[in-house]
């Protein structure tokens, strides 16, 4: 049974919802591996889960197959109090699946079976409910890959901009998905960045999109594209935050990292949780001190996710985060 939308749903996350099958056989590729762990996946779903786990209101808009995997994903989000009333179902196409194994040398064996999420159209979008949101987040690991979802995605960002929504964008570059299509990735990412109020990138994504290695110069380039606020996550070093007039590196907290899966999504979710509770969200870019506080909080959430295995499973609650700020 779907969770219904809240009277106050400040954040709607749009994008893929899929199953990640992780090979649990140590140092085995996908030919040799025989045991797999099933997990809910998809960057925007992870962002949604983070917001809900922190006590915020978040809704998810995406598409799954009407199959056991789709129902599993719905139940997973429901268990975290994420609103799933905008989840679209495809009776003919299966839920998207990803199979991953990790080698001791750090190499990754990856097979992707694209399914229902790729077929999301504007007809699957509940614009009346989406227009209740203060923030729309677009986390695009797969959304920009193919039609019709790519066009739906960009159309929805443009529509949200016209409606005056606060737009958050994370390009979520995955090398395995964009092999041979890097120019396409850069072109589409730039279109979304031009319309975004908050852009989160890794240092790798910053260099890919701008062609610039220097972080501060690269950030300036994203601002010139149209981004109002830019956050560059730098792992254990912290996050470089900029509002175009000021930049500062906000340090992370010291941890013993076990698994960094989902840390970037948790960072975004924590940032949006704080932004959703900001009285005048459109003017937040002018309050750099408040931005620094928000990013420090998000750094702690992202770091704590790295201390446990999994993405959604490792999410901390607000009490755990408060302990780290003492």
The pTM of this model reads: 0.92
Number of Cα atoms under 13 Å in the Cβ half of residue 139:
27
Domain-embedded: residue 105: no
Q: What is the pLDDT of residue 76?
A: 95
Residue 190: CB partners within 8 Å, gap ≥ 6? 209, 225
Number of domains in the chain: 1
Residue-number span of the structural domain to which 182 is assigned? 11-17+42-93+116-315
**CA 234/CA 216 separation, integer angstroms:** 13
Domain-embedded: residue 28: no
CATH code at position 187: 3.40.1190.20
Helix axes 263-276, 288-305, angle to 10 degrees: 140
Beta bridge partners of 15: 139
Rg (CA), the chain: 18
The answer to whether the CB of 76 falls within 8 A of the CB of 52 is no
What tens digit of pLDDT does each residue of 55-93 get? 999 999 999 999 999 999 999 999 999 999 999 999 999
Helices (H), 27-114: 43-53, 68-79
Domain-embedded: residue 102: no
Beta bridge partners of 198: 168, 229
Domain-embedded: residue 290: yes
Domain-embedded: residue 205: yes
**CA 140/CA 144 separation, integer angstroms:** 6
Sign of the CA dihedral with 204 first, then 208, 212, and 218 last? negative
Tokens representing 206 are: 């910053």
**CA 79/CA 1 separation, integer angstroms:** 11
Question: Which H, E and C letters describe 262-305, residue by residue?
Answer: CHHHHHHHHHHHHHHCCCCHHHHHHCHHHHHHHHHHHHHHHHHH
CA angle at residue 138 from 260 to 314, to 5 degrees? 25
Domain-embedded: residue 29: no
Reply yes or no on whether the pLDDT at 212 is more than 50.
Answer: yes
What tens digit of pLDDT does each residue of 138-150 get? 998 888 999 999 9
What tens digit of pLDDT does each residue of 5-63 get? 444 458 999 999 999 898 988 888 999 999 999 989 899 999 999 999 999 999 999 99
Q: What is the pLDDT of residue 105?
A: 63
Domain-embedded: residue 322: no
Domain-embedded: residue 34: no
- Cβ-based neighbour number of residue 234 at 10 Å: 17
Residue 321: band (very low, low, confident or very high) from pLDDT cuts 50, 70, 90 = confident
């Amino acid at each position: 049974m779907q969770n219904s939308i809240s009277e106050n749903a400040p954040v709607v996350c749009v994008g893929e919802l899929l199953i990640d099958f992780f090979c649990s056989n140590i140092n085995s590729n996908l030919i040799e591996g025989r045991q797999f762990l099933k997990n809910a996946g998809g960057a925007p779903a992870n962002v949604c889960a983070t917001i809900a786990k922190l006590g915020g209101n978040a809704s998810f808009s995406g598409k799954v197959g009407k199959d056991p995997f789709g129902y599993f994903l719905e139940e997973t989000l429901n268990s975290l109090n994420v609103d799933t009333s905008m989840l679209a179902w495809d009776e003919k196409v299966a839920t998207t699946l990803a199979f991953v194994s990790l080698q001791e040398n750090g190499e990754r064996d990856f097979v992707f079976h694209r399914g229902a999420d790729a077929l999301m159209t504007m007809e699957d979008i509940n614009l009346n409910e989406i227009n209740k949101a203060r923030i729309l987040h677009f986390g695009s690991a797969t959304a920009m890959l193919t039609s019709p979802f790519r066009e739906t995605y960009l159309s929805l960002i443009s529509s949200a901009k016209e409606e005056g929504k606060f737009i958050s964008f994370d390009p979520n570059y995955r090398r395995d998905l964009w092999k041979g299509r890097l120019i396409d990735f850069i072109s589409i990412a730039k279109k979304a960045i031009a319309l975004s109020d908050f852009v989160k990138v890794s240092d790798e994504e910053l260099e890919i999109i701008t062609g610039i290695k220097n972080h501060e110069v690269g950030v300036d380039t994203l601002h010139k594209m149209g981004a109002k606020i830019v956050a560059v996550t730098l792992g254990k070093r912290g996050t470089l935050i900029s509002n175009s007039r000021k930049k500062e590196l906000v340090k992370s907290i010291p941890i013993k990292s076990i698994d960094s899966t989902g840390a970037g999504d948790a960072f975004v979710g924590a940032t949006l949780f704080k932004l959703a509770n900001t009285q005048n969200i459109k003017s937040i870019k002018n309050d750099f001190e408040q931005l620094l506080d928000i990013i420090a909080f998000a750094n702690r959430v992202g770091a704590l996710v790295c201390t446990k295995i999994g993405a959604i499973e490792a999410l901390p609650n607000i009490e755990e985060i408060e302990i780290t700020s003492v």
